[in-house]
């Protein structure tokens, strides 16, 4: 062993921390020991470097002490060495200086205050969110009602040809103003049919269903929206009972529109038209009857005025057996979807039969014979 290794001071000086960042430096005696062991080729150097790195000293510091790089120091530590050879004395890392005391939110005195303040802020935020959600829900409900109302009433389209405009003007001035009254009510104006001036070019006095503003509206110039000067809010509430009147007006307009579409296709029938149940339609030209569902648009299909080939064969069979067909089968009926309503011209017996049938047994005629 060299003299440099034996000349170890009695008290190991602690490692100094240089710089503002607190970087650690090797103790001078240990740096000199590593340099001497490296220059002399001491076999205990790999064990010493490995144990020092295990204790926390970096290869960069030890490499600087030995005059090599940090990577070379790591290579020296992993070289094969004899574990039975004890390493040189290795100093411990100096303790880290305590951090400066700062106000911490985890202290018991501060936790209570922070939690109280946080809870108060959360409660205020929750109330603000609830108010905002309630406002948005009310606006969405009003917008949905307005959209459904304007879509369902099927307002009168903007007429461009003079014939349609003249027809509408003649109908309104003749006294058929109930559709216009319903449309005005759905838009927000409450009009009285008795106060109609008799012409579409004269002002018709009416009242706003929201703010009770009285205004004279000329139908030929279009229906304006009320500015609600008496109520600064954008959506003032409706007058009492107006909502139910609007629902009834919407139902009336839908019934009238469906019946007009059926008459335009050449059918006659009786309601109700606006329900989901099929409506019985009759063709006044050929007398054919059918069941149509207005929600599917079947009432708009015109009558072909001639039976299908299968229906013609069925009619020929009924005619050959002495029956008169009154009504064709109803495909939507659970019991008469393939049964014709027929009557016997001799005795007046009426029944439902399929196409493969027998002649009438004249039960009414037998009952009258004594």
pLDDT tens-digit readout, 59-68:
888 888 888 8
For residues 229 and 298, membership in a common domain is answered with: no
pLDDT in tens, 280-324: 888 877 777 888 888 888 888 888 766 667 777 888 888 888 888
- Note the pLDDT tens digit of each residue in 74-86: 888 876 555 556 6
- The boundaries of the domain holding residue 258 are 162-264
Write out the two tokens for 146.
Answer: 């307005």
**How many CB atoms neighbour CB 50 within 10 A?**
18
201 and 295 in a single domain? The answer is no
Q: Which of 238, 264, 290 is the last residue of a domain?
A: 264
Residue 118: Cβ-neighbour burial (10 angstroms; 0-12, 13-18, 19+): exposed
**Count of CB atoms situated within 10 Å of the CB of 219:** 24
**Is the CA virtual torsion 188, 193, 199, 205 positive or negative?**
negative
State the average pLDDT over residues 142-170: 61
Q: Are 20 and 59 in contact (CB under 8 A)?
A: no
In a domain, 86, yes or no: no
Same domain, 235 and 305: no
DSSP state of 345: T
CB distance 231 to 211 below 8 Å = yes
- Is the same domain home to 258 and 292? no
149, part of any domain: no
Range in 106-110, 203-207, 352-356 the model is least confident about: 106-110
End residue of a domain, out of 16, 43, 78: 78
Res. 211 pLDDT band, cuts 50 70 90:
confident
Quickly count: other Cβ atoms within 10 Å of residue 229's Cβ: 9
Concatenated DSSP letters for 302-328?
PP-SS--HHHHHHHHHHHHTT-EEEE-
Give residue for tokens 């490692």. 15
Q: How many other CB atoms are there within 10 angstroms of residue 20's CB atom? A: 6
Q: How many domains does the chain have?
A: 3
Question: Residue 177 is encoded by which pair of tokens?
Answer: 């103003």
pLDDT digits (tens, 9 = 90+) for 95-123: 666 655 554 444 444 445 566 777 788 88
Is 180 part of a structural domain of the chain? yes
On average, the pLDDT of the chain sits at: 75
Q: Which of 78, 109, 141 is the last residue of a domain?
A: 78
In a domain, 109, yes or no: no
**How distant is the alpha carbon of residue 151 from its chain centre?**
20
Q: How many residues appear in the chain?
A: 370
Q: Over 50: is that where the pLDDT of 12 sits?
A: no
Residue 132 lies inside a defined structural domain of this protein: no
């Amino acid at each position: 062993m060299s003299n440099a290794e034996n000349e170890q001071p009695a008290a190991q000086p602690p490692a100094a921390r240089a710089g503002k960042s607190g970087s650690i430096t090797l103790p001078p005696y240990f740096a000199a020991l590593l340099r001497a062991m490296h220059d002399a080729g001491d076999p205990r150097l790999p064990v010493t470097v490995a144990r020092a790195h295990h204790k926390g000293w970096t290869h960069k510091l030890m490499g600087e002490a030995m005059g090599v790089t940090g990577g070379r120091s790591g290579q020296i530590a992993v070289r094969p060495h004899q574990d039975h050879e004890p390493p040189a004395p290795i100093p411990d890392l100096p303790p880290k200086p305590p951090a400066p005391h700062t106000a911490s939110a985890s202290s018991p005195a501060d936790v209570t205050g922070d939690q109280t303040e946080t809870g108060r802020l959360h409660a205020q935020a929750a109330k603000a969110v609830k108010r905002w959600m309630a406002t948005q829900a009310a606006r969405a409900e009003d917008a949905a009602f307005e959209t459904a109302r304007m879509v369902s009433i099927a307002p009168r389209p903007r007429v461009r040809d003079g014939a349609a405009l003249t027809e509408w003007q003649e109908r309104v001035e003749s006294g058929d103003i109930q559709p216009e009254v319903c449309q005005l009510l759905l838009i927000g104006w409450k009009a009285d049919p008795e106060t109609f001036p008799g012409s579409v070019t004269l002002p018709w006095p009416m009242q706003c269903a929201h703010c009770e503003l009285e205004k004279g509206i000329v139908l030929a110039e279009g229906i304006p929206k009320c500015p609600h000067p008496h109520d600064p809010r954008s959506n003032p509430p409706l007058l009492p009972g107006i909502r139910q009147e609007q629902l009834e007006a919407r139902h009336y307009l839908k019934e009238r529109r469906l019946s007009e579409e059926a008459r335009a296709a050449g059918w006659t029938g009786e309601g109700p038209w606006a329900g989901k149940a099929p409506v019985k339609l009759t063709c006044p030209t050929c007398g054919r009857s059918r069941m149509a569902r207005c929600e599917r648009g079947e009432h708009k299909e015109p009558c072909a005025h001639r039976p299908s080939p299968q229906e013609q064969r069925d009619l020929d069979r009924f005619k050959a057996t002495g029956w008169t067909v009154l009504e064709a089968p109803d495909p939507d009926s659970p019991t008469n979807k393939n049964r014709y309503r027929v009557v016997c011209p001799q005795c007046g017996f009426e029944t439902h039969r399929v196409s493969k049938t027998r002649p009438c047994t004249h039960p009414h005629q037998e009952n009258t014979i004594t």
